Amino acid sequence: MFSSISTKKHKNSINSQLKIKYRLLQLTLTFFSLFLRSYRLLNKLFDIKNAKSIFKFYI
């Protein structure tokens, strides 16, 4: 009985770690997409040719 409880706890801890990692990944992706969006807006407002050549790869 005790062993089953300990394995459950272990599984729960692994799940929580995975959830945290997934959340961090989500946050980084949203941050990156927001950064690209804001860059595009800035690019429309101020025509920065230097930045265009650098970010041609992404856009």
DSSP helix, strand, coil percent of the chain (3-state; round to 5): 85, 0, 15
Q: What is the pLDDT of residues 23-59, one digit of tens each?
A: 999 999 999 999 888 888 877 766 656 655 666 655 5
Question: Looking at this protein, which amino acid is placed at residue 59?
Answer: I
The pTM assigned to this predicted structure is: 0.48
The per-residue pLDDT for 24 is: 93
